[in-house]
Structure 1
Amino acid sequence: MSISKLSPSPVDSAKPKINWARVDEADNFANTVKLYRQGKYDEDSFRRFRLQHGAYGTRMTSDYAMVRVKLPAGEIYPKQFETLSRLSEQYSIGSAHFSTRENIQLHWVVLEDVSEIFRSLAEVGLTSREACGNSVRNVMCSPLSGVCSDEKFDSTPYALATAKFFLRNPMAQSLPRKFKFNFTCCEKHGMVRMVDVGLIPEIQQINGSEQKGFKIFLGGGLGNRSFVGHQLEDFTPEEDLLYTSIAVMRIFDRLGDRKNLARNRMRYLVNDMGWEKFQNLVLKERAIVRATQSVVTKLKVDTTPDNITRPLKISDESGGPVPDGYARWLKTNTIKQKQSDYRSVFITLEAGDITSNQLNSMANLIREFSSEGKARTGFVQNVALRYVHEDDLVPLYSKLLETGLAKSGGLTMSAPVGCSGTTSCNLALTNSHRLAKEIQRKFLELKLDDDDDLTDSSIKISGCPNSCAQHGIATIGFFGGGGRLGKDMYPNYQMLLGGRFDADTTLGQTCLRVPAKRVIPVILKIIEMFKENKKSGDTLKSWIHRIVNDSEDSNIKSIGDIKKVLEPLVVPPSKDDDPDFYLDYGSDTSYHTKTGKGECAA
């Protein structure tokens, strides 16, 4: 990879390598909406069509949609940011939302306007095709792939090639349920054991030469019932990547439960069949695929190195004072790359939300500070600006302050993940989205992002048991529900402890139900317990891990001990004593559970 400090960059130094769009899909969608409005297209068929094109239903109405734009491998370029900025202002609510699966979502779009969004996305090479529905969803890749000091090689080209192969591929258009790929850089920076197919790059010495390949994990997934994936074999050579992917998908397509929508993800098939039997089926099917596929059926992996060119600065900005908060931001939002003198900067959002003005600012920040000319989205609703030269960090921070994007704590527990919750989702029971923001604001106020003991922990909050915010693999996870005292209902969360998504991937254990307005005091009490009982070198994550594995010997030895300390905090007061307790965050009306028809399995 060539690194030049002298040559000036063009306005956009990098262009997308792949055009994901098809303009004709916009016309087709517009015509189908007309037929649906005229009663010539039945509702169930239209729902499947709409979802296949990435337009998800909006809470309690059929007149609006959420458009989910795919960012394969998390890559996004300046002109794409500018287009999304304009679309969010013109057709949505003046903001957009980054999901945990490297998509960006435009909410509350009038159904008739969806096709106009598709046309504009096509102009910059983006699509929402198969971002929803029973197909291969957005193919993810760690935002640190290519810059991680622990990776064997960059898996980004393989993620892009996989996404390209399966997009609009007939074999992936009518699966029993959605199907997900995650590529990562190393054990630490990905969630490969919690998806249908997870891949970690590996290199082995074979016959005296280096062979690229992957460790592949199958059958993981989060939801109402979650499972940790299994490793297929010690090493899968890169030439077997596509054959393995096709084999797994064929088995799922044939044997997945199409009748019981609650149990038709691949993880249930693996669990019901048993891992050894499923593993043998995959290996046998792969041999058949390898023997019968055409020689032209292959992944088109483009490993051409990106041109890394430090943007030319018109004026010297290094002479001014360092802004307040810079040291804290540098510590909690940046990571040193394996490339000397460069850092990856993680821009913190509140529960994935970004305004149209900030989207536009991101385009300019990439042009001015990223030596690779693009950004990457991550697994925790943030945006990574990579290849930022260390000499440019102070000027970048100053620009982030101007745009409201300089929040610290992006790589710490102080940046909780929160799904959209009752702000737009038909299945949500609580406003998890707003709760995540409230926690973030409180933690930053208390400067907990600067606490080294909390850096590697996580908080993830879903508005229902379906785990869009990945609560099952959080250090402290929550999913929403309702509680009742007499006739009065209040928003409530089930709390789980001890989840993690690294080499020791573990599902969180149930602790107790926590009313929404007591979540922050409960988390702070857990931190207080940790501080009182920790050993030298402990973090909150390692301390809770020992507790859930029955290997802690302090005064707090079990989940039951934690529950006993917390129970006085979660006792509901009467409505007369504390009426605010009975309101959800962001609402001034009485709480009640109300859901619509979910579309995850439509």
Structure 2
Amino acid sequence: MYRYDEFDHAFVKARVAQFRDQVERRLSGEITEAQFKPLRLMNGVYLQLHSYMLRIAIPYGTLAPRQMRMLAHIARTYDKGYGHFTTRQNLQFHWPALKDVPEILEHLASVEMHCIQTSGNCVRNITADHLAGAAADEVADPRPYAEILRQWSSLHPEFSFLPRKFKIAVTGAERDRAAIQIYDIGLHLKKDAAGRLGFAVYVGGGLGRTPILAKKIRDFLPEEDLLAYVTAILRVYNLYGRRDNKWKARIKILVHETGAEELRSQVEHEFAGIKKGGELKLPEADIRAIQAYFAPPALEPRPEGDAAVAKAAAEDPGFAAWISRNLHTHKNPDYACVTISLKGIGEVPGDISADQMEAVADIAERFAFSEIRVSHEQNLVLPHVARADLKQVYDRLVKIGLATANAGLVTDIIACPGLDYCALANARSIPVAQQIATRFADPVRQEEIGELKIKISGCINACGHHHVGHIGILGVEKKGSELYQVTLGGSGDENAALGEIIGRGFGPDEIVDAVETIIETYLSHRLDKSETFLAAYRRLGPAPFKEALYGSEAKAA
């Protein structure tokens, strides 16, 4: 993984010192909260319902064990003993005292981490496929390009005060595991007919109150033109993006109002001017130098793995269930990618305790070449585990309560913190996720249902990505009470789609029953067990689900 150079160390150290002074001035009353707000947001500090919240950047979702141990130390020393992984591969601490934040930032800097640009109207943390560099279906590792973008965008003087926040995601496989079509810029790393590496470029995706899928404006961009083209997009956005209304300030609105073809024309014009100057062309040597940081580990042959897995699975049903759900095919047949589910039944999606963090760090160090990934689905991944070691990894995960065999199933729910924490939220997300998981806790029932992605947001800002859930749940406020609106048929993969609102909302005491009704309707209408919920919905449309949920009310509508 990437290691800081001298500039990175000096840059982060200076930022810590600067923010320490800003915090001291706020605590002394020298500056007001209004004056402090833009300063703290530039350092990932939010003011939530009950306390400050600190958001830590995990570039392209890659963590080293020493970094995970530092997160555990911070959780135990300065928070309430846990952290929360988000849908943008960040980690949030929800209970730090403001006086302690500079000390936390200093601890983070000691392990090459920071909170810079995890908030504010700038280029945010660059996200990527959590199986990058390991998955068998990958064309190339997208993380070197994410790192190049991170270095280029950090405190970029031209793009530090954009009309609104700006998010970029990169994937390197045909199967989109980074949800690139819901971001401001989505980059699909691919090869052209001549075998050259480059990118399909998507622009203008975003969820929130106006959900829009990104439009492809370039089918193939050579890798050396990456910074020039992204700069061109951001310049067009910076020039024409609205600044009079924050609800209409995202680039998705500019693309929608301008038209994808006209915006593409403007970007191409700007790009041609940048290319003519030549200053942003990525040198081949620099690309390869960054790629060297992401060279895969030396994977020794471990041919005994298949026999070991078969024997252990025959002896331990729990292990058998876990390997059937929580593994992904690795480039090397002797190895596997392991998903560590942070969705234990009845637990808070994405939460992890300090003790669990330390144990995962130990497992990664012992069995996974000291690499941990964070997925946008709020789980962790060990990208390189020998199949021969899977039983040992599983046994250790069982001991720390992280061996739930539910990756991709109905209980593997994405949820934002909701009204339990967030000042923007209208409704609670966490209790709904916990109740749904408890209702469908039976492993046999989960397997019978099959792949099903439920995503829950506590407000229209859609931090839980509900718009692209197979079943999406949005918490809203109506006459002072919480209400849950349901969407069906969404997807965040390469066949991205926005869910359709199915009808009137449900109260807190109705929403779990509504989800069960939707699932039972799917089971009764699917062609066979191989037809997933999403495939069935796309074949059937909303009618049978509306009928099941609303009866005569649906017919009248």
TM-score (norm 1): 0.84
AA of the residue aligned to 2:446: D
- Assess if the C-alpha contact under 8 Å between 2:201 and 2:217 holds in 1: yes
CA–CA distance in structure 2, aligned partners of residues 359 and 216 of structure 1: 36
- Assess if the C-alpha contact under 8 Å between 1:311 and 1:368 holds in 2: no
CA–CA distance in structure 2, aligned partners of residues 560 and 516 of structure 1: 24
CA–CA distance in structure 2, aligned partners of residues 265 and 377 of structure 1: 26
* 1:232 Cα deviation from its structure 2 partner: 1.3
Residue 429 of structure 2 corresponds to: 432
- Residue of structure 2 aligned with 1:444, choices 441, 445, 448: 441
Residue 592 of structure 1 corresponds to: none
User: Superposed, which structure 2 residues align to 1:22-421 within 5 Å?
Assistant: 22-59=12-49, 64-188=51-175, 189-206=177-194, 210-292=195-277, 294=279, 300-301=286-287, 302-304=290-292, 305-309=295-299, 322-350=315-343, 351-371=349-369, 373-421=370-418
Aligned pair count reads 531
- Assess if the C-alpha contact under 8 Å between 2:61 and 2:373 holds in 1: yes
- Assess if the C-alpha contact under 8 Å between 1:381 and 1:417 holds in 2: yes
Alignment of 1:459 with 2:459, yes or no, is: no
* 1:33 Cα deviation from its structure 2 partner: 1.7
AA of the residue aligned to 1:136: V
CA–CA distance in structure 2, aligned partners of residues 421 and 142 of structure 1: 25
**Secondary structure in structure 1 of the residue aligned to 2:509:** helix
> Mind listing any 5+ residue stretches in structure 1 that lack a counterpart?
1-13, 549-558, 571-602
Deviation by residue 1:108-144 (Cα, 9 ceiling, x = unmatched): 1111111111000000000100011111111001012
Deviation by residue 1:161-218 (Cα, 9 ceiling, x = unmatched): 1112111221221111111111112242231111011111111134xxx211011111
AA of the residue aligned to 1:36: R
CA–CA distance in structure 1, aligned partners of residues 551 and 482 of structure 2: 18
Residue 562 of structure 1 corresponds to: 545
Residue 475 of structure 1 corresponds to: 470
User: Superposed, which structure 2 residues align to 1:583-598 within 5 Å?
Assistant: none
* 1:250 Cα deviation from its structure 2 partner: 0.9
Closer, same or farther in 2 for the Cα pair 1:462/1:295, shift >3 Å?
closer
CA RMSD of aligned residues (A): 2.4
AA of the residue aligned to 1:465: I
Identity of aligned residues (%): 29
CA–CA distance in structure 2, aligned partners of residues 76 and 83 of structure 1: 11
CA–CA distance in structure 1, aligned partners of residues 161 and 174 of structure 2: 32
- Assess if the C-alpha contact under 8 Å between 1:414 and 1:448 holds in 2: no
- Assess if the C-alpha contact under 8 Å between 1:73 and 1:156 holds in 2: yes
AA of the residue aligned to 1:468: C
Residue 527 of structure 1 corresponds to: 519
CA–CA distance in structure 2, aligned partners of residues 23 and 322 of structure 1: 52
CA–CA distance in structure 1, aligned partners of residues 282 and 13 of structure 2: 25
* 1:295 Cα deviation from its structure 2 partner: 6.0
* 1:50 Cα deviation from its structure 2 partner: 0.6
- Assess if the C-alpha contact under 8 Å between 2:489 and 2:534 holds in 1: yes
Deviation by residue 1:399-441 (Cα, 9 ceiling, x = unmatched): 0010111111023232010001012111111120232233223
Q: By percentage of residues, which structure has more helix?
A: 2
TM-score (norm 2): 0.90
Closer, same or farther in 2 for the Cα pair 1:322/1:125, shift >3 Å?
farther
CA–CA distance in structure 2, aligned partners of residues 76 and 568 of structure 1: 49
CA–CA distance in structure 2, aligned partners of residues 46 and 126 of structure 1: 23
- Assess if the C-alpha contact under 8 Å between 2:301 and 2:334 holds in 1: no
CA–CA distance in structure 2, aligned partners of residues 295 and 346 of structure 1: 38
* 1:501 Cα deviation from its structure 2 partner: 1.8
**Secondary structure in structure 2 of the residue aligned to 1:108:** coil
AA of the residue aligned to 2:415: G
AA of the residue aligned to 1:68: R
**Secondary structure in structure 1 of the residue aligned to 2:291:** coil
CA–CA distance in structure 1, aligned partners of residues 192 and 114 of structure 2: 36
- Assess if the C-alpha contact under 8 Å between 1:193 and 1:220 holds in 2: yes
* 1:449 Cα deviation from its structure 2 partner: 3.2
- Assess if the C-alpha contact under 8 Å between 1:216 and 1:236 holds in 2: yes
Residue 546 of structure 1 corresponds to: 539
Closer, same or farther in 2 for the Cα pair 1:308/1:172, shift >3 Å?
farther
- Assess if the C-alpha contact under 8 Å between 1:58 and 1:108 holds in 2: no
CA–CA distance in structure 1, aligned partners of residues 526 and 224 of structure 2: 47
Closer, same or farther in 2 for the Cα pair 1:310/1:376, shift >3 Å?
farther
Deviation by residue 1:563-596 (Cα, 9 ceiling, x = unmatched): 23213799xxxxxxxxxxxxxxxxxxxxxxxxxx
* 1:15 Cα deviation from its structure 2 partner: 7.2
